Structure 1
Amino acid sequence: MAKIIGGITTAHIPAIGVAMDKGLENEPYYRDLFAIYPPIREWLEEEKPDIAVLFYNDHGLEMFLDKKPTFAIGCAPEYENADEGWGIKPIPPVTGETELSWHIVNHLIENDFDPTVCQDIKVDHGATVPLTLLWPNFTYKGIKVIPISINCERHPMPKPSRSLAFGKAIGDAIRCWDKDSKVVLLGTGGLSHQLDGPRAGILNAEFDNWCMDKIVSDPEAICQYSNVELVEKGGAQMVEIAMWLAMRGCIEGEVEERMRNYVSPISNTAVGVQLLIPKD
């Protein structure tokens, strides 16, 4: 049977992708951020997962305001990237895992979720920046990826509790898949940040660290907040914690926090990184 070996939270800030393209990792502005990732890369190299289930939000590359599914799952054999206007170079195609993707879709529908199925979709920086951070030099080519998008741009968005329940259903689907595969989960997106408007640049480190505590010990506690309350506490893009909740929901029971770091601000965004391992 398939086995979930761990979950990783990470930012997907476009400026990170530009910095990697330009070789700026050791510049003072970025140094502390990029110093976070080598231990996680070492863990991935040691564990060698077969599949990455990647929770992200599409920022308009494929799912714009006129067509915005609440939950969407990639079921394609390959995913391409395209120029989004941020200055990030498009990355080589990402290999999909169609069999597990369809298994997840069927399981979700049998358990009262109705995701949009995407058999031809380009993935944006929400997916590509985490892949290049965790598998630099395009070494993600050795792993199959299932991109799962959650709406974090247009209201109404899924409640935090719904994103957590969505992840729980996906975790159940993975565990009952009858293939001997190792699966790693990626919950992407920043913590407190807002990119425009009068509150642009808002950060709330105290609330961010509380959320990181609760992702480990009590993810349901985050669900006490509505999306509006999350915006009030951490800015318009704080709702991206939906991807973290979905990732954590996939893991049954308790987790060991193997690593944690928090850096701010990078492009006016608080970056939280965690490595969570399921407890036996």
Structure 2
Amino acid sequence: MAEIVLGIGCAHTPQLHTLAKDWDLRADRDRQDGIPLWFKGEKLKYKELEKMREAENLGALLGMETREEALRKSFLAMDRLHEIFVEAAPDVVVIIGNDQHEIFSGMIPTFAVIASETIENLPRTPEQNKRLPIGIELADHGHLPAEHTVYPGNRELGLHIAGHLVKESGFDVTLCHEKPTVKGDHSLLYGMPHAYGFLYKNIMRDHVVQHVPVDVNCWYYENSPTASRCYDFGVAVAKAIQAWDTDKRVAVLTTGGLTHFVVDKEWDHMFLDAMKKHDAETLKSIPQKELMAGTSECKSWIATSAVMDTVGLDMTVVDYQCLYRTEGGTGSSCAFTYWQA
């Protein structure tokens, strides 16, 4: 029987790999009233958001020293997660992530497993960079390789997880025998989604071990699973890994979130506290209106927390940082956590 020995949760915002002075590129975009911003279950215009939050005096947290200190502490936390990963030395990794039209385009599966011996990653083309929102290209070095790179997958475990999910747990998953990608026009070829690439670069530090990408559709709400379904999916993934007939040691990693594109510290601490306390009911009851925009990536954390609850590993928060870029509190919140016995 395989053993799950480690879990890691790590934020993956582009702000982490953007110089503090360049956060204002995105801040200027945030302030445009044509862009909807989700806060406490409401979709707001920027002026409404800033008015709602004026008592918090968030403008006092926008100085360069504050920004740079948040980045410094975030990178120290990621250094610690890297050390923990190296110390655990797992044989195989399962990454629970999400895609944002990076590899799935004409089809959007609710849940997918990539069972391939190799996982290709590659930088964006100049044509792709031209289509990006302002400021995003600056952070590509944080999740994309400088050149075409091939990482080791684990087809045996991928096939086993997919089969077990369908036959034993009642989840109809999409099974990918290779990394999905848009074929034909080279300008449309994409590397792995940033949810995975960030872990390659910042936790495994380009020494990528055999792994299985498991995708949860967080972003496309028409068929995005509920928080409750994500939790149940995590339980099923844990049981599948445990049923793998091998003595391999497995780590389960996730990334994304927490609240963004509007930071909500109160919500984040509720979420972290629920995971620390193994509070499945709180996690399962989070409504969709609170899991919108970038905060939707917390669905991957819910699934990963369920894995850890199932195998009895406890969560430790290494650090939590708020990367504010406007007076309205837009930006990203960053959590850095791990689960071990």
- TM-score tier by shorter-chain length is 0.7 to 0.9
Partner of 1:199: none
Tell me by how many angstroms 1:29 deviates.
Answer: 5.9
C-alpha displacement at 1:230, in angstroms?
A: 3.2
Conserved 8 A contact 2:275-2:315: no
Structure 1 residues 35-85: Cα deviation after superposition (integer angstroms, max 9, x where no partner): 112222222222200111101111111113x41111111111111123263
| Amino acid aligned to 1:262 | Y
For the 8 Å contact 2:152–2:210, the answer to whether it is kept is yes
Match of residue 198, structure 2, among 129, 137, 143? 129
Aligned-pair CA distance for 1:120: 2.1
1:224 aligns with 2:288: no
Residue 153 (structure 1) aligned with residue 211 (structure 2): no
Aligned-pair identity in percent equals 27
Change (3 A) 1:29 1:214: closer
Letter in 1 for 2:199: P
Alignment partner of 1:209 out of 263, 266, 269 = 269
The answer to whether 1:240 aligns with 2:297 is yes
Deviates more, 1:35-44 or 1:104-113: 35-44
Inter-partner Cα distance in structure 2 for 1:190 and 1:15: 12
Residue identity in the other structure for 1:180: D
1:119 deviates by 1.7
Q: Is the CA contact (8 Å cut-off) linking 2:4 and 2:311 kept in structure 1? A: no
Measure, in 1, the Cα distance between the counterparts of 2:275 and 2:266.
Answer: 14
Structure 1, residues 203-222: CA drift from partner, whole Å, max 9, x if none?
10011011011112113312
- Indicate which of 73, 78, 81 corresponds to 2:113: 73
SS in 1 for 2:234: helix
1:15 is displaced (CA, Å) by 4.4
Match of 1:166 in 2: 233
The CA deviation string for residues 125-179 of structure 1, in whole angstroms up to 9 with x for no partner, is 110112211122x122xx1111111111211210011111111111001111111
Q: 2:103, 2:286 → 1: CA distance?
A: 29
Distance 2:4 2:324 in 1: 30
Higher helix share: 2
User: Residues 166-208 of structure 1, C-alpha deviation per residue, up to 9 Å, x if partnerless?
Assistant: 11111001111111111111121111102xxxxxxx2100110
Give the equivalent residue in structure 1 for 2:3.
Answer: 3
Which amino acid letter does the alignment assign opposite residue 257 of structure 2?
G
For residues 95 and 183 of structure 1, the distance between their equivalents in structure 2, rounded to whole angstroms, comes to 15
**Rounded Cα–Cα distance in structure 1 between residues aligned with 2:71 and 2:85:** 22
Summarize the Cα distance change of 1:264–1:158 in structure 2 as closer, same or farther, 3 Å threshold.
same
Residue 269 of structure 1 is matched in structure 2 by: 332
- TM-score, normalization: structure 2? 0.70
The corresponding residue for 2:207 is: 139
The question of 1:45 aligning with 2:86 is answered yes
What number of residue pairs does the alignment pair up? 257
Which residue type is aligned with residue 171 of structure 2?
F
Match of 1:30 among 71, 79, 82: 71
Bigger radius of gyration, 1 or 2? Answer: 2
Match of residue 98 from structure 1: 155
Residue equivalent to 2:250:
183
Moved more, 244-253 or 83-92: 83-92
Distance 2:273 2:312 in 1: 13
Q: Which residue number in structure 2 is paired with residue 198 of structure 1?
A: none
Provide the rounded CA distance (Å) in 2 between the counterparts of 1:56 and 1:159. 15
**Could you tell me how far 1:27 is from its partner in structure 2?**
5.7
Stretches of structure 1 lacking an aligned partner (at least 5 in a row): 20-25, 195-201
Distance in 2, matches of 1:222 and 1:17, equals: 29
RMSD between aligned residues: 2.1
- Whether the 8 Å CA contact 2:98–2:195 is kept in 1: the answer is yes
- Contact map agreement 1:30 1:266 (CA 8 A) in 2: no
Distance 1:208 1:73 in 2: 28
**Cα deviation 1:213-264 (Å, max 9, x = unaligned):** 1112113312212212333xxxx22111110111111221543234431011
- Matching residue's letter, 1:212: L
Partner of 2:55: none
On the 8 A contact 2:111/2:173 being kept in 1, the answer is yes
State how far apart, in whole Å, the 2-side matches of 1:162 and 1:97 are: 26
SS of the equivalent of 1:72 reads strand
